Amino acid sequence: FSEELEIVDNKMGEVQGVPLPEATCEIWEQIYNFQAREDDILISTYPKAGTTWMQEILDLIVQGGDVEKCRRAPTYDRHPFLEAVAPKPVPSGLQLAEDMELPRILKTHLPVQLLPPSFWEQDCKVIYVARNAKDSMVSYYHFQRMNRGLPDPGDWSTYFSTFLAGDVTWGSWFDHVLGWWEAKDQHQVLYIFYEDMMENTRREIEKVMRFLGKELSEEVLEDIYHHTTFQAMRENPMANYSSIPSFVMDHSVSPFMRKGVVGDWRNHFTVAQDEIFEKEYWRRMEGTNLTFRTQQ
């Protein structure tokens, strides 16, 4: 894979102090000036919050539960990843979005202050998925190990500090979840928690359905639920990222559909790390009414 490896770019740059892939920074003006349409639906998340899961749920809701239609293409082609820039000939998120039929479902990991303003101007509906910081950290660590498009995370103790300092691609978890939490009071943002989706997936699917102004029968909702379980998605080549070449995502290092549980942080955090984490967490989260659960 040596030649292929050379085209995989994992260099990082920065936009307004937020670490982003260098290729994204290079076309930042274009990304920021993206023209949203009023019927666009945006899924926004900090990385590893359950983006892909929500994408599958959303696609099924929009397609009226038609499972076959949702197998038309892999996740990343069905829902353009706005700020993603891959090596040629893979089209950028912007290109995919421009070529797509309306209405579109789009994905972003941008912190709220970097979102292209046209989404607010068009009053687009946004679904934000948040996941507790400890499990996000663990999931992101394993993702950076397997995804050569992102920096090598180093060992766990190194990564623990890097993540807590917000020195990871897309920036600080704290800034992200708090920024979007505020935005929900001014815009059409449905704020959903990964832990709630795990606790009662059907309830959360219905929440999304109502937010989109859709009506689906009990039977269809049941189908959506079954098609979006961790097991079903892990086996679905259109949802499990297995179609990305292994020199980019190496599932033998850590599969994209890794564990899909709440509380895996307990298998990674030492007692000392947990103490450091808790201190920083409460320092950063003081005064907010945004709360997370770290166990099921």
Residues that bind ligand A3P (CB under 6 A): 45, 47-53, 135, 139, 142, 228-230, 233, 257-260, 264
Separation between Cα atoms, residue 100 and residue 80, nearest integer Å:
9
Min CB(283)–ligand A3P separation in Å: 25
User: Which CA distances in Å does 279 have to 78, 105, 141, 160, 268?
Assistant: 41, 38, 21, 14, 18
What is the H or E stretch that residue 98 is in? helix 93-99
- Residue placing its CB nearer to ligand A3P in the complex, 50 or 171: 50
- Residue placing its CB nearer to ligand A3P in the complex, 35 or 229: 229
Task: Give the burial class of 267: count Cβ atoms within 10 A of its Cβ; 0-12 exposed, 13-18 middle, 19 or more buried.
Answer: exposed
Min CB(50)–ligand A3P separation in Å: 5
Lookup result for tokens 């967490």:
281
Separation between Cα atoms, residue 75 and residue 60, nearest integer Å:
12
- Residue placing its CB nearer to ligand A3P in the complex, 24 or 45: 45
- Residue placing its CB nearer to ligand A3P in the complex, 37 or 74: 74
List active site positions.
109
Nearest to 171 by CA among 17, 11, 26, 24: 17
Min CB(38)–ligand A3P separation in Å: 26
User: Which CA distances in Å does 234 have to 56, 239, 257?
Assistant: 12, 7, 6
User: Which CA distances in Å does 14 have to 23, 46, 154?
Assistant: 10, 16, 21
Min CB(249)–ligand A3P separation in Å: 11
